[in-house]
């Protein structure tokens, strides 16, 4: 028997492992006809806490095995972390399947960006990846769900819902199937494969555990901090206009950058979860500031021990940025350039994806406002 919240096997013997429920509680709920959730999902649902349990970590193998059950997958990505969730390893795993690309969390993008602009931008970012369809949705607000439903109805068969952790797979399944799958802001909530019938249809969706890519800042954090870094209703947007070339901007303790320019001082905005804290300083002072405030004033991380500053191996990359371009830091946020050019020398833990891309938030529309 599987837990209907996370899809893991129910067991009565080991509270430290996934799927545990005390036998007495199980019997009581069974006799009352109540829903039988594992202890972890019960507490996530009622107390908003996701307890750490030992899990069978080989989610990639679980997903690969489940792929044999379907012809078509719904590959869910997060528009607020496109580089972090449109992951090359996931693309590789899905290479032999028909793909419907689901671009979720569009409610977090500023309203000034139209659906058409988002779609064009997504298609550009996907490069040679050519899914059968692309749907822009908000699983939470319900945008785009009806069109997706119609499109699934027009195809026959069942669909596997796949993607990186925390992109909103279970939220989507809940919306399409009116199911009670556990949804939390903790990445790694779903632990097994869950089969759910699509509302008023004979087709099924399989919800799957998220794939932890290891290339996102969020992947380096403990679960509580990952939760704090998951934006649910808005992203923070802050404008910077460094006066001196050589200024340093710290975005939390796990990302800092030196900004260099020749003529006009640059203007850029940083989009990130509101739990990410910023600090502007000089090259002379930033190291001592980082040491002193890492995991305290400078979040993420949310604690100075997770991960310890001394344990981090850094990678440094330089980019020249022009007006209209963006620099994304996977699992953290992005910089949108309003006035350039300037050079950013960015430092993040090694293995984290940092990429220059065309702007999603079009700066030309606001040009006059910033040129004054």
Scan for tokens 């970590």, then name that residue: 57
Contact call for residues 332 and 326 (beta carbons, < 8 A): no
Judged by the rule CB under 5 A, the positions of this chain that interact with Mg ion are 169-170, 189-190
Q: How far apart are CA 268 and CA 368, in angstroms?
A: 15
Of 22, 44, 75, 36, nearest in space to 190 by CA? 44
Instruction: Return the residues of window 23-52 that contact ligand GTP according to CB under 6 A.
Output: none
Between 87 and 325, CB nearer to ligand GTP: 87
How many CA within 13 A on the CB side of residue 371? 7
Question: Which of the ranges 23-31, 99-107, 124-132, 264-272 carries the binding residues for ligand GTP, by CB under 6 A?
Answer: 99-107
Q: Which residue is nearest to ligand GTP (CB)?
A: 210
Question: Which of the ranges 49-57, 103-111, 317-325, 357-365 carries the binding residues for ligand GTP, by CB under 6 A?
Answer: 103-111
* The two three-digit tokens of residue 231, written as one number: 């934006």
Give the three-class secondary structure for 350: coil
Burial 170-196 (b: 16+ CB within 10 A, else e): bbbbbbbbebebbbbbbbbbbbbbbbb
Is 279 a residue that touches ligand GTP (CB under 6 A)? Answer: no
Q: Which of 62, 125, 158, 170 binds ligand GTP (CB under 6 A)?
A: 170
* The two three-digit tokens of residue 136, written as one number: 């822009």
Q: How far apart are CA 183 and CA 168, in angstroms?
A: 8
Is 53 a residue that touches ligand GTP (CB under 6 A)? Answer: no
Q: Which among ligand GTP, Mg ion, none contacts residue 269 (Cβ within 5 to 8 A by kind)? A: none
Q: How far apart are CA 5 and CA 323, in angstroms?
A: 46
Is 198 a residue that touches ligand GTP (CB under 6 A)? Answer: no
Q: Which of 39, 125, 189, 299 binds ligand GTP (CB under 6 A)?
A: 189
CA 45 to chain centre: 21
Minimum distance from CB of 177 to Mg ion (Å)?
13
Q: Which among ligand GTP, Mg ion, none contacts residue 323 (Cβ within 5 to 8 A by kind)? A: none
Is 328 a residue that touches ligand GTP (CB under 6 A)? Answer: no
Residues forming a β-bridge with 100 = 74, 133
Q: Which among ligand GTP, Mg ion, none contacts residue 62 (Cβ within 5 to 8 A by kind)? A: none
Sequence length of the chain is 372
E strands of 128-172, at which residues? 133-136, 159-163
Is 188 a residue that touches ligand GTP (CB under 6 A)? Answer: yes
Q: Which among ligand GTP, Mg ion, none contacts residue 185 (Cβ within 5 to 8 A by kind)? A: ligand GTP
Is 183 a residue that touches ligand GTP (CB under 6 A)? Answer: yes
Is 140 a residue that touches ligand GTP (CB under 6 A)? Answer: yes
Scan for tokens 């087709």, then name that residue: 203
Is 219 a residue that touches ligand GTP (CB under 6 A)? Answer: no
The count of other CB atoms within 10 Å of the CB of residue 40 is: 28
Of 210, 218, 212, 185, nearest in space to 348 by CA? 218
Q: Which of 67, 73, 185, 276 binds ligand GTP (CB under 6 A)?
A: 185
Q: Which among ligand GTP, Mg ion, none contacts residue 188 (Cβ within 5 to 8 A by kind)? A: ligand GTP
Is 138 a residue that touches ligand GTP (CB under 6 A)? Answer: yes
Q: Which of 8, 39, 62, 166 binds ligand GTP (CB under 6 A)?
A: 166
* Chain residues in the site for ligand GTP (CB under 6 A): 104-105, 107-108, 138-140, 163, 165-171, 183-185, 187-190, 209-210, 230, 232
């Amino acid at each position: 028997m599987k837990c209907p919240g996370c899809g893991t096997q129910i067991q009565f013997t080991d509270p430290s492992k996934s799927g545990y429920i005390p036998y007495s509680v199980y019997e009581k709920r069974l006799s009352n006809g109540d829903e039988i959730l594992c202890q972890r999902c019960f507490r996530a649902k009622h107390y908003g806490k996701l307890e750490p349990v030992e899990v069978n970590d080989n989610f990639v193998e679980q997903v690969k095995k489940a792929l044999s059950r379907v012809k078509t997958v719904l590959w869910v990505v997060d528009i607020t972390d496109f580089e972090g969730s449109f992951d090359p390893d996931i693309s590789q795993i899905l290479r032999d399947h028909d793909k419907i690309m689901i671009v979720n969390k569009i409610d977090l993008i500023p309203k000034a960006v139209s659906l058409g602009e988002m779609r064009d931008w997504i298609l550009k970012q996907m490069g040679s990846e050519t899914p059968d369809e692309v749907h822009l949705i908000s699983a939470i607000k319900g945008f785009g769900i009806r069109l997706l439903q119609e499109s699934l109805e027009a195809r026959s068969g069942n669909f596997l819902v796949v993607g990186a952790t925390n992109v909103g797979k279970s939220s989507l399944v809940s919306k399409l199937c009116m199911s009670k799958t556990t949804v939390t802001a903790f990445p790694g909530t779903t632990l097994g494969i869950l089969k759910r019938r699509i509302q008023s249809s004979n087709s099924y969706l399989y919800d799957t555990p998220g794939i932890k890519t290891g290339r996102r800042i969020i992947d380096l954090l403990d679960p509580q901090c990952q939760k704090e870094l998951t934006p649910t209703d808005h992203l923070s947007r802050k404008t910077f206009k460094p006066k001196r070339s050589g200024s340093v901007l710290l975005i939390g303790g796990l990302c800092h950058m030196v900004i260099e320019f020749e003529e006009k001082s640059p203007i850029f905005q940083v989009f990130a979860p509101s739990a990410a804290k910023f600090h502007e300083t000089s090259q002379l002072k930033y190291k001592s500031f980082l040491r002193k405030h890492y995991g305290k004033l400078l979040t993420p991380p949310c604690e100075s021990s997770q991960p310890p500053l001394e344990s981090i191996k850094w990678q440094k990359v330089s980019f020249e940025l022009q007006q209209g371009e963006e620099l994304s830091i996977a699992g953290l946020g992005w910089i949108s350039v309003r006035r350039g050019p300037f050079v950013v020398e960015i430092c993040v833990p090694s293995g984290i994806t940092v990429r220059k891309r065309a702007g999603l938030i079009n700066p030309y529309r606001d040009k006059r406002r910033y040129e004054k």
